[in-house]
Amino acid sequence: MNNWNIQSRAHACQACEKSFADKEKYHTVLTDAKSDYTRLDLCVKCWESQYEDGANERKGFISHWQGIYEQAPEAPPEPILKASAETLLRELVELNDPKYAAASYILAVMLERKRQLRVKEQFKRDGQRIFIYEQPKTFDIFTIPDPDLQLNELDEVQHLVARLLEHGLNPLPSAAPEEAVVVDVSEESDAADEEPVGEEETEPAQS
């Protein structure tokens, strides 16, 4: 099972293949497909006619939420001079290397505290807590497992995150910086209770 995952929002209904219009409401269904987590974006018509009735009873159902499709403005890409926390998180998730699991979790918590990611859902699989984060501008979702860090492990992970932010993945220097990224992971995530940015949504359905 691949717990690390990034899935982008579809630009068309994945049932009828009709393109979403700007400001059109859509529904997202997240399921556990054994080998991976699967995101399904649906127009209102397909959701109501094919999925709404008994959705949370379907095999592998994890969560459902509603959003509003927003077309991205056409603009030239800005050059990235140094990796941001989000671009680094994307790189680590795509790399899918277990040695960076704790670093990915810390980066996700950092981005959540800065309101650059928000928790859409959390659940347990095989005894491990899994967080589903959404990027509120691109609507990409990140599947991030909780590494259950102990206090005596936190300092080392903070130094690793600081080194990755400063130098990137390749090459990774052996010397730790003087200052480490400080993130308090002892508190429960609070972003899920905050007002979402630029999206109307319903409460996630319970499995």
* pLDDT tens for the chain, residues 1 to 207: 556 677 889 999 999 999 999 999 999 999 887 777 889 999 999 999 998 888 878 888 888 999 999 887 665 554 433 448 899 999 999 888 889 999 999 999 999 999 999 999 899 888 889 999 999 988 999 999 999 988 888 899 999 999 998 888 775 555 444 444 455 554 444 444 444 444 444 445 444
- Nearest CA to 20 among 195, 139, 142, 143? 139
DSSP states along 33-89: -SSSEEEEEEEHHHIIIIISTTGGGSTTEEEEEEEE--PPPP-PPPP-SS--HHHHH
Note the pLDDT of residue 33: 76
Note the pLDDT of residue 19: 93
Collapsing DSSP states into helix, strand and coil, what is residue 166? helix
DSSP states along 92-123: HHHHT-GGGHHHHHHHHHHHHHTTSSEEEEEE
Note the pLDDT of residue 117: 94
Note the pLDDT of residue 2: 55
